[in-house]
A and B are shown apart, each in its own frame.
Chain A
């Protein structure tokens, strides 16, 4: 206890974030083993983990590095398809499903990092809106490349083609990625526990990176590029570092995501998905990792929970989004909530109403 009181504010904040994820995991694990939650909710657990990781990794670019990236789903898809391919190749070499999943996520992360690096070289010449537009374009390019990619393996080794499945000239073997049809017959390797580990790993990487020499350089470039250059920081290097690390983590999340389903198509990773992840980040507060985790969870669950209103589901989703955005960003609303909270605190002792504290968290 004494140690907890004496550690720095940043360390305490980090531990709270880790703790929050651990508690949520244990709670959900307990609930699902007690069959206290519906199967549709259980099916959401892995996607929630994936979106939380994506929100954390995109926060590194949008919040910490201060660049608006609209192509995050592109890196996710690179990780997804390379991950599937790696998992199928390794079926005989690594029989344990969990280890195979980890290996495929590492491969997916590595290839997404490579894609992030290649995309990053031209993108890092730009700033602001131009950078956002170009990342959007690269996200689409990646999607279209995967739409035309045919890949498989047989006894002779690996086969790749950008024209058709026939052009692979396979002798038996297996076509893993089949152009616009994507990957089919994927063994379901992903588990909730793997998702939890991914979130913890992503948190570990991002939080540690931010609190280090490199992270300070990244934030320096965000706060004032000219001043950062004047103290000898290679601005391109650190912007690229944030971009590539973020892409690698998105690739790992993509590999986990894809192996949660029996089939996956490249179209899944389009502009809408990129925007969805960006919404998680913006709603949670740019640079606010914990806020991103909460908003990613809530916004993934919300459309499912709104199913009872049928066709009006997405309308409800949009309204919730607008209301939260307005509430968390309007200074008058914030003042009102603060004064409300004060009044209630005076009257009702230390009991902070849940909705008031939530409004504060979202900022």
Chain B
């Protein structure tokens, strides 16, 4: 009893939004229990013990403003094995509709593997992924993209030989339609769609002040610009959830500062959720609302940046145990 209560209190403290509901449940339970003792004499004989029913503890966390909306992403007991290695195990995560969430952990913790599971580069061995309430089981990478997950890559993967504009147009592939025959025989549909492609591409490039580079070959861009172009291309797919794999890698502090502004602006303008992997703690602590820490494929902590910074397990994972 006391242990249960303790668990509940801890959970309530963590999830501020749930506090009121938990209290309500408790009160109702207490009343039911009290009523029971009164009626006991008149009821038929029971063949069971009196069971106390409670809501199972879960450690989902979302920003308060998103609590009433369907979460954009929900992972339940997600796991994948490579041979005998449990690369990711019992990964539970909820990302709110407009949340900026961080996924951190030491090298080799399985962060990119989680991204690969979410985008179905790997099929999970166990568990469920719900994207905006819809189960993504059996979908392939392209389908998941159409359903609303966009990503960038740790090692940049652009269409190197094509122009910046074409890269974004390819990102827009499923947003504008034009079939093969219309394309070959230059049907009116083709001219309409090309105008739409061009306008939308430039509009998106403008968000990152890259419209002037539209005609450049993507592979010839400087590193920072390539990273930004990857984000633009991902945004072009009109996602609900944007996965960024080390967006600040190789950027200097000024560029990182700019990137932080941009990520927040993307969230505000497009009203989408962002889940990012990053080693740059200034960026993670600067913009992430909820943080998940992964170590050896397992979640070791979840919470706000402040909670994570103070968490002894996280400090141990990163810095080792203090003697």
Please give, as numbers and ranges, the residues of chain A lying within 8 Å of B178 by CB-CB distance.
Answer: 212-214
Is A232 at the interface (CB under 8 A from chain B)?
A: yes
A232 to B235, CA, bound (A): 12
In B149-181, which residues have CB < 8 Å from any A CB?
Answer: 150-151, 153, 157-162, 166, 169-171, 173-174, 176-180
Is B237 at the interface (CB under 8 A from chain A)?
A: yes
Is B236 at the interface (CB under 8 A from chain A)?
A: yes
A229 to B142, CA, bound (A): 5
Q: Is the CB of A213 within 8 A of B159?
A: no
Q: Is the CB of B159 within 8 A of A220?
A: yes
Q: How far is the CB of A62 from chain B (nearest CB, A)?
A: 15
Instruction: Tell me how many residue pairs across A and B have CB atoms closer than 8 Å.
Output: 98
Please give, as numbers and ranges, the residues of chain B lying within 8 Å of A223 by CB-CB distance.
Answer: 158-162
Q: Is the CB of B173 within 8 A of A227?
A: no
Question: Among the listed B161, B169, B183, B193, which residue makes an inter-chain contact with A209, where contact means beta carbons less than 8 Å apart?
Answer: B183
Q: Is the CB of A231 within 8 A of B233?
A: yes
Is A186 at the interface (CB under 8 A from chain B)?
A: no
Q: Is the CB of A227 within 8 A of B183?
A: no
Is B92 at the interface (CB under 8 A from chain A)?
A: no
Q: Is the CB of B173 within 8 A of A232?
A: yes
Q: Could you give, for residues 209-236 of chain A, a 1 whenever the CB lies within 8 Å of some chain B CB and a 0 otherwise?
A: 1001111110110011011111111110
Is B98 at the interface (CB under 8 A from chain A)?
A: no
Q: With contacts A231-B173, A232-B146 known, is A214 near B162, CB below 8 A?
A: no
Q: How far is the CB of A320 from chain B (nearest CB, A)?
A: 29
Across the interface, name the chain B residue whose C-beta is closest to A206: B184
Please give, as numbers and ranges, the residues of chain A lying within 8 Å of B162 by CB-CB distance.
Answer: 216, 219-220, 223
A234 to B158, CA, bound (A): 17
Q: Taking each of B171, B184, B237, which has the highest tally of chain A beta carbons within 10 Å of its own beta carbon?
A: B184
Q: Is the CB of B157 within 8 A of A216?
A: no
Is B121 at the interface (CB under 8 A from chain A)?
A: yes
Interface residues on A, range: 20 to 34
Across the interface, name the chain B residue whose C-beta is closest to A215: B183
Is B295 at the interface (CB under 8 A from chain A)?
A: no
Q: Is the CB of A214 within 8 A of B180?
A: yes
Please give, as numbers and ranges, the residues of chain A lying within 8 Å of B237 by CB-CB distance.
Answer: 231-232
Q: How far is the CB of B172 from chain A (nearest CB, A)?
A: 9
Q: How far is the CB of B131 from chain A (nearest CB, A)?
A: 13
A231 to B168, CA, bound (A): 10
Q: Is the CB of A213 within 8 A of B176?
A: yes
In A217-272, which residues have CB < 8 Å from any B CB?
Answer: 217, 219-220, 223-224, 226-235, 241, 245
Q: Is the CB of B141 within 8 A of A230?
A: yes
Is B27 at the interface (CB under 8 A from chain A)?
A: no
Q: Is the CB of A219 within 8 A of B161?
A: yes
Is B21 at the interface (CB under 8 A from chain A)?
A: no
Question: Among the listed B153, B171, B174, B183, which residue makes an inter-chain contact with A214, where contact means beta carbons less than 8 Å apart?
Answer: B183
Is A11 at the interface (CB under 8 A from chain B)?
A: no
Q: Is the CB of B158 within 8 A of A232?
A: no
Q: How far is the CB of B265 from chain A (nearest CB, A)?
A: 22
Please give, as numbers and ranges, the residues of chain A lying within 8 Å of B159 by CB-CB distance.
Answer: 219-220, 223-224, 227-228
A213 to B236, CA, bound (A): 14
Is B186 at the interface (CB under 8 A from chain A)?
A: yes
A208 to B185, CA, bound (A): 7
A228 to B233, CA, bound (A): 11
Is A205 at the interface (CB under 8 A from chain B)?
A: yes
Q: How far is the CB of A275 from chain B (nearest CB, A)?
A: 26
Q: Is the CB of A205 within 8 A of B173?
A: no
Q: Taking each of B171, B197, B234, which has the highest tally of chain A beta carbons within 10 Å of its own beta carbon?
A: B171
A residues sitting closer than 8 Å to B (CB atoms) are 204-205, 208-209, 212-217, 219-220, 223-224, 226-235, 241, 245
16 interchain pairs, CB-CB under 8 A:
A205-B184, A212-B184, A213-B173, A216-B170, A219-B159, A219-B161, A220-B159, A226-B121, A227-B158, A228-B170, A230-B119, A230-B150, A231-B236, A232-B143, A232-B145, A232-B146
B residues sitting closer than 8 Å to A (CB atoms) are 119, 121, 140-143, 145-146, 150-151, 153, 157-162, 166, 169-171, 173-174, 176-180, 182-186, 190, 193-194, 197, 233-234, 236-237
Q: Please give 16 more A-B residue pairs, beta carbons under 8 A apart, in addition to A213-B193, A223-B161, A231-B174.
A: A208-B184, A209-B184, A213-B173, A214-B179, A214-B180, A215-B183, A216-B162, A219-B159, A228-B159, A228-B170, A230-B234, A231-B145, A231-B173, A231-B236, A231-B237, A232-B143
